[in-house]
Chains A and B, each alone.
Chain A
Amino acid sequence: MIMSRLARAGRGGPLLLALGLFAALVLPWMIYPPVALDIACWALFAAAVDLLLGFTGLLSFGHAAFWGGSAYCTGLIALHTGLPFPVAIVGGAAFAALLALPIGFLSVRLSGIYFAMVTLAFAQMTYFVANQWRDVTGGENGLQGIPRELFGLDLSDSFSFYYAGLPFVLVGLFVAWRIVRSPFGRVLVSIRANPDRARALGYPVDRYRLLAFVLSAALSGMAGGVFAMGHGFASLEGVYWTTSGQAVMMVILGGIGTLWGGAIGAALVVQLQDFLATAGFAETGIITGSIFIVVVLLFRRGIWGTARHLLASRRKAAAPGEVAAEPRKSVDTPA
């Protein structure tokens, strides 16, 4: 019903936004709060990866370095300084951005598979540093018992912490949304479509890519920081390559270049993993892998991308008058 209303309404933006916000707010009532927080963090992480993959055309396989690196940094700030947790999270995000500068500087000159491989290599380096630097990172054991301090407020309950962590995720998503809607974002899209032409038009392509890379890393770092706070824990798992892979998978499931699709992918994957683990099913990978294959084969645009595409084509059929206006609204702009 909502769908058909949306289709008729032509512009479903505000309604969808309200729906999304509502879903984010009621999520811990529907499902177990820590799982809800995981979904929120992964949604932001996926959006950050999509910023690079969907809007700049760079497939990074190394974003775990920023998510996990920030998780460690956030944890260390909270553990050793006792500063309020928002400071720790912002510090973690800043650290991720700093880390992304040299990595990005060296890798944005490449594209396609080479870019993916180089970022993967840097992420693995980060992993080994984190593994070996035991005095700081705790090695195998990770950083445990990260406190959530906020001016004496009791946030130990995961239900209340969800609402403390959610603003960071929402701000992060808003920033991502602003970026892709800005002139800067349009340049990124043009670089994705045709880097040579963008260069010919006078845009410093590598610098744009680097900035997109750093911004994406900062947002990933923010997500990783909230995640570490939520779990009271930062571990090697966060900087491992499977974490990068999972984020990319969420983006592909939800729809590349849709920004919000990542959130749907995140909700799907996290919920599925939680469900399978609770049900005692060991081979989670088989199920998520099969779903991934089905989505890639049947819905190339991803779940959200396909839904949006169907809506758009229905809209065209229902209101031919609007068709003329449609092409101006590029497919790359999220609803």
Chain B
Amino acid sequence: MRVTGWSGCLAATGLLLAGCAGGPGGGGGKISDDKVVLAVLNDQSGIYSATSGKETIEAVRMAVADYQAKYGDKVAAKEIVVMAADHQNKPEIANSKAQELYDRQQADVILDVPTSSAALAVATVAKNKKKVFIDVGAASTELEGKSCNKYTFHYSYNSYMLAHGTGTEVTKDGAKNWYIVYPDYAFGQDMEKTFSAAIKAAGGTVIQSDPTPFPNDNFATFLLKASNLDPKPQVLGTMQAGGDLVNLVKQYNEYKLRDKGVGLAIGLLALSDIHSLGPDALAGTRYTDSWYWNTDDKSRAWADKFQAKTGKRPTANQAGNYSAALQYLEAVQRGGTDASDEVVKQLEGYKFEDMFARNGTVRAQDHLLLHDAYLAEVKPAGEVKEPYDYVKILKTIPAAEAFQPQPDPACKL
């Protein structure tokens, strides 16, 4: 028995040594493994599954189809695979799933990744593995700030865009006094800071800002406080997202704060949130969006195709993922390879316009996509003409103003 054991150990040691000699092989060809693998890593069951989730995979497939249709026989990437994984909004899972996608599934690019902590985890993996990562779903400006790296791009929106859209515009419109409530974790704190800065810069005052537990289902304390503050706030700014936002808005309506003269501004609001709350619950609420399906013919045409496939109208994140996938494939086409360095080179500084990104530029210094954003207001139910037609666009915020005017000096690519 002992002999069996030792020989087993020896055999294993032999295997071990053999294993150390070999490593992951680098692809020499133009398209690694003869295929381009696009991986969507996002929340498929939790609080952000409605804003991107499974429909995002469909959006990415649509990008692949459009790319293939556009180039026909001349496509650089003959075979394109779309796959998906669920990170449950946990950085730990995002970290191991990203490694797995790059290693085990030969993913060439990871897309989406909502939840800032998860996105930062994937950015680190992308940097170590030297593989492309285009984040669409996360808000943190750290992605193009101190955590930026050569292989990470930030698409669609960020907390600066949300704060400077909503905070600045609503203040300029006359709502000078704000009361802010924010969930007490990284995203909420970041949003509170950027919003306060934007409001002050626009000449407004933040009377008070209160952290709330996260997650939380009872906001009564904060809502009662809102109407009793002195001076009375004209607007309640909430940085809650997902399920918490739904609870807060319902309670805001129960307390009839709007009738008491306290308006509502929301830090991060997605079409899917309006859909689940119903437009009446949110009527008159202002927020900033990176895209809206019913803005013009181009976006509407795409939204029709999307609806035919999924039965829903697309959220801004879903459209953003379509655009990110499409622009990635276009970069592969221009460079003729899916080698990460070449794709990065093709994307840096690239100016383009598509269904999602208007006046789009991928800023070379920090890999942030600059594009037009929109100040939106939720319509009352009476004005809604068709399902999902919940929003009117008040103003287009030009690309140059929508995002940070200068790259963060902390970013060293």
Contact yes or no, B93 A18, CB < 8 A: no
Other-chain residue from A160, A235, A237, A280 in contact with B44 (beta carbon distance below 8 A)? A280
Task: Tell me which residues across on chain B come within 8 A of A141, comparing CB atoms.
Answer: 91, 116-117, 120-121, 142, 186
Contact yes or no, B85 A278, CB < 8 A: yes
**Residue A144 lies at the interface, judged by CB distance under 8 Å to chain B:** yes
User: In the complex the two chains form, what is the Cα distance from A278 to B87 in whole Å?
Assistant: 10
**Residue B168 lies at the interface, judged by CB distance under 8 Å to chain A:** no
**Residue A113 lies at the interface, judged by CB distance under 8 Å to chain B:** no
**Residue B128 lies at the interface, judged by CB distance under 8 Å to chain A:** yes
User: In the complex the two chains form, what is the Cα distance from A141 to B95 in whole Å?
Assistant: 11
Task: Tell me which residues across on chain B come within 8 A of A29, comparing CB atoms.
Answer: 15, 19
Known A-B contacts A25-B13, A232-B95; the reply to A280 vs B1 at CB < 8 A is: no
User: In the complex the two chains form, what is the Cα distance from A26 to B97 in whole Å?
Assistant: 22
**Residue A184 lies at the interface, judged by CB distance under 8 Å to chain B:** no
Looking at A53-61, A74-82, A151-159, A175-183, the stretch in contact with chain B turns out to be A151-159
Contact with A along B1-41 (1 / 0, CB 8 A): 11011101101110110011001100000000000000000
**Residue B96 lies at the interface, judged by CB distance under 8 Å to chain A:** yes
User: In the complex the two chains form, what is the Cα distance from A130 to B126 in whole Å?
Assistant: 26
Contact yes or no, B124 A280, CB < 8 A: no
Task: Tell me which residues across on chain B come within 8 A of A19, comparing CB atoms.
Answer: 5, 8
Task: Tell me which residues across on chain A come within 8 A of B55, comparing CB atoms.
Answer: none
Contact with A along B234-276 (1 / 0, CB 8 A): 0000000000000000000000000000000000000000000
**Residue B100 lies at the interface, judged by CB distance under 8 Å to chain A:** yes
**Residue B74 lies at the interface, judged by CB distance under 8 Å to chain A:** no
**Residue B350 lies at the interface, judged by CB distance under 8 Å to chain A:** no
Contact yes or no, B4 A18, CB < 8 A: yes
Contact yes or no, B91 A142, CB < 8 A: yes
**Residue B392 lies at the interface, judged by CB distance under 8 Å to chain A:** no
User: In the complex the two chains form, what is the Cα distance from A141 to B90 in whole Å?
Assistant: 9
Contact yes or no, A233 B23, CB < 8 A: no
The CB with the most chain A CB atoms within 10 A, among B8, B85, B116, is that of: B8
Extra 4 A-B pairs, beta carbons < 8 Å, given A21-B5, A232-B95: A18-B6, A22-B9, A144-B120, A145-B127
List the 10 closest A-B pairs by CB distance, nearest first.
Answer: A18-B5, A140-B186, A282-B45, A25-B12, A22-B8, A141-B117, A15-B1, A140-B117, A237-B92, A145-B124
B interface with A by C-beta (< 8 Å)? 1-2, 4-6, 8-9, 11-13, 15-16, 19-20, 23-24, 44-45, 84-86, 90-93, 95-97, 99-100, 103-104, 116-117, 120-121, 124, 127-128, 142, 147, 185-187
